[in-house]
Copies of this chain bind each other. A is one copy, B any other.
Amino acid sequence: MAAKKKQKPIVGNMLIAQSGGPTVVINQSLVGAVLEAKKHGEIKQVYGALHGIQGILNEEFVNLGRESKANLEKVAVTPSSALGSVRKKPTSEDCAEIFKVLQKYDIRYFFYIGGNDSAETTHIINEEAKKNKYEFRCFHICKTIDNDLRENDHTPGFGSSAKFVASAFMGDNLDNRALAGVKINIIMGRHAGFLTAASALARVYPDDGPHLIYLPEVAFSIPKFIKDVKAVHAKYGRCVVAVSEGISDSKGTAIIAKMSASKEVDSHGNVQLSGTGALGDILANEIKAKTKITRVRADTFGYLQRSFPGLWSEADAKEARAVGTQAVRCAVKEFSSGSIAIRRAPGKAYKVTYKRVPLKNVSKDTQHMPAKFINKDGNDVTQAFIDYARPIVGKLPEIGRLKNIEVKKK
């Protein structure tokens, strides 16, 4: 991202914080921003707030400028928000209070690493500063494993989580091949199916699972699901299924809520199916009850998808670093506010560019899997999705298979 315009320099302190669900590469963005900040004389102290805006309200700051580069580089390859995180939507009183704290510490550069909710918080804080005519640079740094931020081709965190999911399906497909049956895996992503779709990258051989993929973007029907599973099982003698935690029926009601709700009618009040393993268990039980398949298992990948250490996509790590670096550079030189979006450059080779976009463009609303990424039958992805996701995820483990040279029966 070449500097296109110069703006009047502001001298003051910088504050950075992390928000929302952790990712494997969220500290790359933090470290990118901190190391870049140290290159600019306009930025005096580099502070971090612990646990996002909660740390600002509590004035719990740490001095990131005094961290050694070596330690920062160790933190960069460590998963989960090193500054701590928070899930908090600030009230208008909170925003006024946050703004007071920023003034008190002479914060002139503010960076908030997070998803669409964090972008909205950043936007509100920026509006508060504007209203008060406070000279201020205010940036959002994108991250989300859900891959659902507008303006972005993809978002930091997604590639590494997708690599975990694809790797996990590679192993689980082999497990299912060794001991046949139906295996259902529940994947994160309540509204966007990108992470569930990434399971498709696990396929190496034509008979490899996942054989079916159910996304929140497609209305889910239990009878259709059972029909699909039976067909795959008849063909391969086994079936591996990827299911988004957010699958919903044609009215938009989440399957997990629907199936639990129907049980809650029972006045005894002792049915609790809203836990993390519940959706997998519900679907497995449906297969057991409505087919003759006996070996049916379900796993919910859970938090491992967003925080497994030592396993990341190289492209993701690099891009997460870059959006942190670019946000600081842009704040110092070019714009008073915004978010750094990742765009894909046209052409065959995978290449990305970084573009500053207005805060409101990435806040609140999110984006979903486009129709071109979903197959007609609504139970798989298309080649277009594979082509889109493969370079973001990068190298996957190599899977060997015996040639199974037949021995003639005697």
User: Chain A: residues with CB nearer than 8 A to chain B?
Assistant: 18, 21-22, 24, 27, 45, 47-48, 50-51, 59, 61-64, 66-67, 71, 73-87, 104-105, 167-168, 170-172, 174-175, 177-179, 183, 263, 266, 268, 270-273, 275-278, 280-281, 284-285, 297-304, 306-311, 396-407, 409-410
Decide if A410 touches B105 in the complex (CB within 8 Å).
yes
Decide if B268 touches A275 in the complex (CB within 8 Å).
no
Q: Name 16 interchain pairs, CB-CB below 8 A, sorted by A.
A: A47-B407, A50-B404, A66-B405, A67-B402, A74-B398, A75-B400, A75-B402, A80-B177, A266-B268, A266-B270, A270-B271, A271-B271, A276-B281, A276-B299, A277-B277, A277-B281
Q: A22-B179, A266-B266, A310-B396 are in contact. List 14 more A-B contacts (CB 8 A).
A: A61-B406, A62-B406, A79-B174, A80-B174, A80-B175, A171-B309, A175-B303, A183-B303, A273-B281, A275-B284, A275-B285, A276-B300, A300-B302, A309-B399
User: CA–CA, A398 to B73, complex, Å?
Assistant: 11
| Distance between A127 CB and nearest chain B CB, rounded to angstroms | 24
Decide if B298 touches A276 in the complex (CB within 8 Å).
yes
Decide if A174 touches B62 in the complex (CB within 8 Å).
no
Given contacts A178-B80, A272-B285, A281-B272, contact A307 B63 (CB under 8 A): no
Residues of B within 8 A of A299 (CB): 276, 300, 302-304
Q: How many copies does the complex hold?
A: 2
User: CA–CA, A275 to B289, complex, Å?
Assistant: 13
| Distance between A20 CB and nearest chain B CB, rounded to angstroms | 9
Decide if B405 touches A172 in the complex (CB within 8 Å).
no
Decide if A307 touches B174 in the complex (CB within 8 Å).
yes
Decide if B172 touches A303 in the complex (CB within 8 Å).
yes
The 3 closest A-B pairs by CB, nearest first: A277-B277, A275-B281, A74-B400
Decide if B397 touches A310 in the complex (CB within 8 Å).
yes
Decide if B81 touches A308 in the complex (CB within 8 Å).
no
| Distance between A171 CB and nearest chain B CB, rounded to angstroms | 4
Decide if B171 touches A307 in the complex (CB within 8 Å).
yes
Given contacts A67-B405, A81-B178, A402-B62, contact A167 B300 (CB under 8 A): no
Decide if B75 touches A407 in the complex (CB within 8 Å).
no
Residues of B within 8 A of A410 (CB): 59, 104-105
Residues of B within 8 A of A307 (CB): 171-172, 174-175
Given contacts A82-B402, A275-B280, contact A309 B170 (CB under 8 A): yes
Decide if B297 touches A403 in the complex (CB within 8 Å).
no
Closest to A83 in B: B402
Decide if A22 touches B400 in the complex (CB within 8 Å).
no
Q: Which of B83, B263, B285, B300 contacts A300 (CB 8 A)?
A: B300
Given contacts A62-B405, A105-B410, A271-B271, contact A168 B85 (CB under 8 A): no
Decide if B167 touches A310 in the complex (CB within 8 Å).
yes
| Distance between A243 CB and nearest chain B CB, rounded to angstroms | 13
User: CA–CA, A213 to B84, complex, Å?
Assistant: 24
| Distance between A140 CB and nearest chain B CB, rounded to angstroms | 18
Closest to A395 in B: B310
Closest to A288 in B: B272
Closest to A271 in B: B271
Residues of B within 8 A of A311 (CB): 310-311
Decide if A75 touches B401 in the complex (CB within 8 Å).
yes
Decide if A171 touches B304 in the complex (CB within 8 Å).
yes
Residues of B within 8 A of A167 (CB): 308-310
Given contacts A272-B285, A402-B64, A407-B61, contact A21 B179 (CB under 8 A): yes
